[in-house]
C-alpha cells in the first residue's frame, strides 16, 4: 500500500509578515516556514498505520526551495520519501490548480490513499481535499477525527458543522482530510533526523507535469492588507448581575456581535 500525505510549508505564526511593494504578495525572504499544523496530524495518522502495516508513506509538497526544511521534518518523523513540485516562477495557484497538480502526482505515483489536513492556516480555504477527490473520483471524508482500518476499507468518523459525528465507510482508493484531535503528532527522533538525510527528495519542475495548457489559477490578487490590531481594554464595574447586563448590552449594541 502506498499512502500519499500532502504537506504544505506555511509561515510560522510567530514570524513577522512583510508585503511586497505592490501589496500583492508576502515576502518569503527571511520568513521561517513550518509544516502546516493540520498536515502534521495527517502525516502522523499515516505513520501510525505504517507502524502496524507494511506500506510506503510518500510526502507531497508544492512550493519552492523554502519548502525543503519542512520536507526534511516530515522525513525525520518517519516518511519514506518525498516529492517536491517546484513552482519555479512562484506562480499564483488557486485551490483548483493545486488540486490538479496533486491529482497528477497521485496518478503518476500510483498511490492507494491520500491523507491531508482539513485546511492550511495561511489560506484556510478548506477546498483542496474535496477537489482532489472529485478529480480522481475517489471516496472521501473531510474533518475526520477518527479512523478504523478494515482490509481494503476504512471507517472514518467525521465531525459535522454542528458538533455531531458522522460515520462514513470508505473503500480504497480513498482520501481523508483530518483535523485536530485525531492524534498527537510525534517529534522527530535523533535517529529519524539522521536517516532523513539519506531519503529521496524528488524534485519535479511544475512545467514538466504536462499541465501547461491547464488553467492553474482563476484568481487575480488585487491587494493584500495586514490586519490592524487595536488592543483596547475596558473594565466593567458592578456586581455579577450588573456586569453581565452591561457586557451583553455592549456586545449587542456597540460591537453588534450578538
Q: Are 127 and 95 in contact (CB under 8 A)?
A: yes
| pTM, 2 dp | 0.83
For 179-216, b/e burial (b = at least 16 CB within 10 A) is beebbebbebeeebeeebeebebeebebeebebeeeeb
Cα 61 to Cα 75: distance, rounded to the nearest angstrom: 12
Per CATH, domain 2-209 is 3.40.50.620: yes
pLDDT for 256 equals 73
Domain residue spans of the chain: 2-209
213 band by pLDDT with thresholds 50, 70 and 90: low
pLDDT (mean) for 213-223: 79
Higher pLDDT, 226 or 86: 86
pLDDT (mean) for 27-51: 91
pLDDT for 204 equals 94
Amino acid at each position: 500500500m502506498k499512502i500519499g500525505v500532502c504537506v504544505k510549508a506555511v509561515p510560522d505564526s510567530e514570524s513577522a509578515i512583510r508585503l511586497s511593494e505592490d501589496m500583492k504578495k508576502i515576502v518569503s525572504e527571511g520568513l521561517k516556514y513550518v509544516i502546516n499544523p493540520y498536515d502534521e496530524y495527517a502525516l502522523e495518522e499515516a505513520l501510525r498505520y505504517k507502524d502496524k502495516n507494511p506500506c510506503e508513506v510518500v510526502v507531497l509538497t508544492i512550493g519552492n526551495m523554502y519548502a525543503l526544511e519542512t520536507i526534511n521534518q516530515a522525513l525525520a518523523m518517519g516518511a519514506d520519501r518525498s516529492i517536491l513540485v517546484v513552482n519555479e516562477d512562484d506562480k499564483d495557484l488557486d485551490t483548483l490548480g493545486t488540486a490538479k497538480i496533486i491529482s497528477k502526482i497521485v496518478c503518476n505515483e500510483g498511490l492507494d490513499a491520500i491523507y491531508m489536513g482539513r485546511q492550511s492556516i495561511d489560506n484556510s480555504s478548506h477546498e483542496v481535499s474535496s477537489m482532489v477527490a472529485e478529480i480522481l473520483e475517489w471516496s472521501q471524508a473531510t474533518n475526520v477525527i477518527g479512523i478504523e482500518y478494515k482490509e481494503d476499507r476504512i471507517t472514518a468518523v467525521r465531525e459535522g458543522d454542528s458538533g455531531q459525528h458522522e460515520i462514513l465507510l470508505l473503500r480504497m482508493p480513498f482520501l481523508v482530510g483530518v483535523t485536530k484531535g485525531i492524534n498527537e503528532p510525534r517529534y522527530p527522533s535523533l535517529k529519524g533526523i539522521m536517516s532523513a538525510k539519506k531519503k529521496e527528495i524528488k524534485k519535479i519542475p511544475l512545467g514538466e507535469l504536462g499541465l501547461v495548457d491547464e488553467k492553474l489559477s482563476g484568481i487575480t490578487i488585487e491587494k493584500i492588507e495586514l490586519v490592524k490590531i487595536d488592543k483596547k481594554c475596558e473594565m466593567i464595574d458592578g456586581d455579577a448581575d450588573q456586569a453581565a447586563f452591561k457586557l451583553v448590552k455592549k456586545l449587542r449594541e456597540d460591537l453588534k456581535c450578538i
